[in-house]
């Protein structure tokens, strides 16, 4: 998949300088850096779908748990 990323000039030049001795392109260097960051984040257990924020879910009371029809429930109220 391709993506266009606008890097500040200084960051691009630093990426180029770090990639060159490895015989890698800037693109290869950036892909490797992103992959390493994902791996580090997964290993630390801090990657969450909600961006790490604590979320409070609504409590829906039912006299007969498991039988409530939520098809028309307004979850965003």
How confident is the model over 3-56, as pLDDT tens digits?
A: 898 999 999 999 999 999 999 999 999 999 999 988 888 777 665 655 666 777
Neighbour tally for 26: CB within 10 Å = 17
11 compared with 57, residue with greater pLDDT: 11
pLDDT score recorded for residue 17: 95
Q: For residue 13, give the 3-state DSSP assignment.
A: helix
What is the pTM for the complete model shown? 0.54
DSSP conformational letter for 59: P
pLDDT given at position 49? 58
For the chain, the structural domain boundaries read: 23-47
């Amino acid at each position: 998949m391709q993506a266009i990323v606008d890097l500040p000039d200084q960051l691009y030049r630093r990426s180029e300088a770090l990639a060159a001795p490895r015989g890698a392109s800037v693109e290869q260097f950036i892909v490797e850096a992103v992959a390493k960051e994902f791996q580090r984040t997964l290993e630390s257990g801090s990657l969450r779908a909600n961006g790490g924020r604590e979320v409070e879910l609504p409590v829906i009371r039912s006299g007969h748990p498991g039988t409530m029809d939520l098809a028309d429930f307004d979850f965003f109220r």
